[in-house]
Amino acid sequence: MTRTSALAFCLPLCVAVALSAAAQAHAQATRADSTQRRDTLESVVIRAMRAPAASPGARAVVTREELQRRNAGQDAPMILESTPSITAYSEAGGFSGYSYVRFRGLDQTRLNITLDGVPLNDPEDQVLYFSNVPDLLGSVSSVEVGRGVGASTFGTAPFAGSLSFESIPLATTPRGAQAGATGGSFGTWRASAEGSTGVSSNGFAAYGRFSRQGTSGYRHHSGNDSWSGFGSAAWFGTRDALKVTAMAGLSGTRLAYYAAPESVLAVDRRANPVTAAEGDRFHQEMVSAQYSRSLRGGLDGILLVYRNSAAGAYDAWFGDGEAGAPVYGNFGLAHVWQGVTTAFTWTGASWNAALGGTASDYHRDHSLAMRPDLSATEYANRGVKREAAAFAKGTLRRGAWSVGGDLNVRYAHFLYEPSANAGIRPQPATWRFVNPKAGLRWDGGAVSWYANAGRSWREPARTDLLAGADDINAKNVNELLPLSRVHPEKVDDYETGVVVRGARASITANVFAMEFRNEIAPIGRIALTGAPLRKNVPSSYRRGMELDGSIEFAHGERLTGNATAMTARISEYDDEVNGAVYRNVEPLLTPPLTANLRWTHDAGAVANGRLRVDLAGRHVAAMNLANDGNGAMSVPAASLLDASLSWDAPATSLRLDVYNVLDANAYAGGYTDGHQRYLFPIATRNMLLTVRRTLGASAAR
């Protein structure tokens, strides 16, 4: 464990001791606190972000109960893909390592990702590498999955959607502990333990989790091993609360970021073109402190400060040198990121409002050294990113009607600081954006109708600005500069739909139209570093309908499902490799149809517990591998079936998960060189067995 990792994980425990001592002086006042008051204070930042502008039909909430029933240590994308309009894949073919998620065909650099209001997207590349935060879902209370531009939030601008993670709430989690273990196919294993104190008589509460996990990976030499810790501590007073949260992770991964040619996969589906010598090891930490106060009737405010850091290195094959010996480069990355956020929520009898502001400072060092001499670097450059943003949003209700508005202003400044010997001056880029949103809703009891419109601008990521390069030098300077050659992208998002609810059934139909200008679209190739390459296209769109529903049957059965039918087009795509121009073509990795169906059956009491059976089916239509309209170069359509058998007793639970029950030869993504397909395989039939043991009420229940 690194010194920084140990500090990030131990800080909540140190703060817990200090808070407990301070809280003794306030014991008389805090005994009168209600659980509802404490919960309200703790969740101010969540309410400020999640309400009130997002379309009710363009979001889904994954609850703690559902996460507990499905989580076996997977990276978050592999569980969230069961929500509408989402596709996901893991480079290793299984559940962990480097995994990625796409919303309506748009990659995860276009997502806003937060944990309790703390932004998690790396400001330079605007992406969260879930491999750096293993078993994150083990300490999550809920995930709001928003599609489209949604409501204003903190951090990277929501463009394709947002993931709002809420950690275990200390105010409502009772005292208890839980331990769990998982084992199964491809050498996959996981062990975890968590515990919570509940809120004491003096208003103090704490929670902690530690996880250790590993796998050999489905693809050859694509395994990983990791550990993670999560801790939080809080003190609740009559009108205020103080909460400190920290998480840390350390992960070592054998790399698999190259897809395999179709001809090779026909012989060996587990083929991995990345050599066995190429791997990485990264650690990441985050610590935040949140002070909340109830200022007056219905008005609550918070002040949040945070620090995020990460560092590590990975190897890449540079070809063969003298006598055919392989040459490996070692890329180093290290960032420090800190910020401050304030937010207020105000609730009245017929209205609610939220205000928020944030500012952050970030820098990341990039370096390259050639093995075996890692002391001499080929280059060492730095990226600096500073951001500031503010938003105001609110909803006014009159009878069955509600009208809402949301205005976000955002400033971002990026500075590329070249290597000392590059002979290049520092390169700045600055962006200023104004993003308005508005919505109308009618609630008629069993039937609701809504319509929303919003605009979102997003600046290019560093990868876009540098065309996948990690360094600007004399060889590529004319090609990469000025940085302004890559334009920010804009989307106008229109959403409308209807929600119908009955005693045992509900269904939501959402129609969307996302109209883009200068979309920074993937071009179907990846850089030496593994980063996907992208470029501006003048105009494009994604239009479709999303259905999401459930029905409860009389005998312990439940059927849930969702489906998305979508049409997506790029008006004009200039392929610089072959010099061709393609018009009105479907963007790559954007399936016209995705569907999920889950059947749950409560089989009744068995041996002092209850037996439950789950069957989950998923279908993803064929997806093009390039923006050239060539349907022959596509990811084949895939239909998968998973099954789960679980037994839950008061203190013990067992669950057997069988994935890809029908042993389908399926693929989740890839690219093409114009002559053949390169594909990422999905693991063939495999299984995991999970056991959990609970002591007391437990944070996990």
pLDDT digits (tens, 9 = 90+) for 487-540: 999 999 999 999 999 999 999 999 999 999 999 999 988 888 778 899 999 999
pLDDT of amino acid 577 = 84
**Distant-in-sequence, close-in-space partners of 411: CB < 8 Å, separation ≥ 6:** 387, 388, 389, 430, 431, 432, 433
For the stretch 629-648, pLDDT in tens is: 999 999 999 999 999 999 99
pLDDT band at 289 (very low <50, low <70, confident <90, very high): very high
- In this structure, the dihedral spanned by the alpha carbons of residues 377, 378, 380 and 383, taken in order and rounded to 10 degrees, is -140
Please state, as a whole number, how many other Cβ atoms lie within 10 Å of the Cβ of residue 503. 7
Rounded Cα distance between 203 and 25, Å, is 11
Best CA proximity match to 524, nearest among 516, 512, 533, 536? 533
Q: In what helix (H) or strand (E) does residue 338 lie, and over which residues does it extend?
A: strand 326-347
φ, ψ at 269 (rounded to 5°): -65, -15
Residue extents of the structural domains in the chain:
3-280+296-430+451-696
Token readout for 39 is 């919960």
Q: Are 273 and 255 in contact (CB under 8 A)?
A: no
Chain centre distance of CA 561:
22
Rounded Cα distance between 679 and 173, Å, is 44
pLDDT of amino acid 50 = 72
641 pairs with which residues across the strands? Answer: 617
For the stretch 548-607, pLDDT in tens is: 999 999 888 999 999 999 999 999 999 988 889 999 999 999 999 999 999 999 988 888
pLDDT band at 698 (very low <50, low <70, confident <90, very high): low
Has residue 361 got a pLDDT over 80?
yes
Has residue 16 got a pLDDT over 60?
no
Compute the average pLDDT of residues 463-472. Answer: 95
Q: What's this model's pTM, rounded to 2 decimal places?
A: 0.91
pLDDT band at 15 (very low <50, low <70, confident <90, very high): very low
**Distant-in-sequence, close-in-space partners of 157: CB < 8 Å, separation ≥ 6:** 112, 408, 410, 433, 435, 456, 457, 458
Tell me, what DSSP letter sits at residue 586?
P
Q: Are 87 and 81 in contact (CB under 8 A)?
A: yes
For the stretch 424-467, pLDDT in tens is: 999 999 999 999 999 999 998 899 999 999 999 999 999 999 99
The 3-state secondary structure of 396-443 reads EEECCEEEEEEEEEEEEEEEEECCCCCCCCCEEEEEEEEEEEEEEEEE
pLDDT of amino acid 51 = 58
Tell me, what DSSP letter sits at residue 157?
P
Per DSSP, which regions of 444-553 are E strands?
A: 447-458, 489-501, 505-526, 532-552
Domain 3-280+296-430+451-696 class, CATH top level: mainly beta
